[in-house]
Amino acid sequence: MLEKFLKYHQELISQDFVDGILKRIEKAYQTRLLILGIMSFIGVAMAVFAVNSLMDNSWVLSIKPYLLESKNIVYLALLVLALFLTNLFVSDNHNQTI
pLDDT tens readout for residues 49-94: 787 777 767 666 677 777 677 787 888 888 888 888 887 777 655 5
Residue 45 is assigned to a structural domain of this protein: yes
Range of the domain at 93: 57-98
Give pTM, 2 decimals.
Answer: 0.49
If we measure between CA atoms, which residue out of 40, 60, 38, 39 comes closest to residue 49? 60
CA–CA distance, 47 with 53 (Å, rounded to integer): 10
Residue 10 is assigned to a structural domain of this protein: no
Residue 46 is assigned to a structural domain of this protein: yes
73: Cβ contacts below 8 Å, ≥ 6 apart = 67
pLDDT digits (tens, 9 = 90+) for 3-52: 666 666 566 677 888 899 999 999 989 889 889 888 998 988 888 878 77
Same domain, 38 and 64: no
Same domain, 21 and 50: yes
Q: Indicate the number of domains in the chain.
A: 2
Q: Tell me how long the chain is.
A: 98
Residue 63 is assigned to a structural domain of this protein: yes
Same domain, 89 and 62: yes
Please report, as a single letter, which amino acid is at residue 49. F
